[in-house]
């Protein structure tokens, strides 16, 4: 009985505190991108632009220009006794600049890293590396959505 009362109180508190989803503002019609410029690693830039799904409108007076400068680094952290790489680190860095009429409004760097061990099967290792890169860019895309709308 006590659990039901606690759950009811929590429900009333959450419903009355004007909670709204982070992505709810995503459908706001006052935000349009006139142009998206990709610099650096184009592959990562294209993945991120496909993830953020922003409306493009060149006519609207409140349209912005988004510049994404992306870099991907793969470092060898340690080597084994034979000199072969044992541990890798993937670093994905994206600098996002939001401009309106050549004036910078917002700017932020997004940086994600991941370390992984070397595998004997190089095909599996390359597939694992692609999967890691996709997961890191997905996380950056989520952060970029929050950055753009808030």
CATH of the domain at 14: 3.30.160.150
- What is the band of 64 on the pLDDT scale with cuts at 50, 70, 90? confident
Looking at the structure of the chain, the number of domains it has is: 1
Provide the CA 38 distance to its chain's centre, in angstroms.
15
Exposed/middle/buried for 91, CB within 10 Å: 0-12, 13-18, 19+?
Answer: middle
| pLDDT for the residue numbered 89 | 95
Statement: residue 53 has pLDDT above 80? no
Q: Give the domain range for residue 75.
A: 2-149
| pLDDT for the residue numbered 148 | 83
Q: Quick check: helix, strand or coil at residue 36?
A: strand
| pLDDT for the residue numbered 76 | 93
| pLDDT for the residue numbered 71 | 94
pTM to 2 decimals? 0.74
| pLDDT for the residue numbered 107 | 92
Statement: residue 27 has pLDDT above 70? no
Identify the DSSP state of 17: T
What distances in angstroms separate CA 70 from CA 8, 98, 146, one per listed residue?
47, 15, 18
């Amino acid at each position: 009985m006590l659990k039901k009362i606690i759950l009811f109180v929590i429900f009333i508190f959450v419903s009355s505190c004007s909670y709204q989803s982070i992505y709810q503002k995503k459908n706001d019609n006052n935000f349009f991108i006139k142009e998206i410029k990709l610099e650096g690693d184009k592959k990562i830039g294209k993945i991120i632009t496909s993830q953020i799904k922003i409306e493009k409108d060149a006519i609207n007076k409140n349209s912005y220009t988004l510049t994404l400068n992306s870099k991907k680094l793969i470092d060898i952290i340690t080597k084994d006794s034979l000199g072969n790489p044992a541990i890798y680190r993937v670093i994905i860095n994206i600098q996002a600049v939001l401009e309106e009429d050549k004036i910078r409004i917002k700017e932020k760097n997004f940086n994600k890293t991941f370390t992984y061990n070397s595998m004997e099967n190089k095909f599996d290792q390359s597939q694992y590396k692609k999967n890691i890169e996709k997961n890191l860019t997905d996380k950056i895309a989520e952060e970029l959505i929050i950055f753009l709308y808030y």
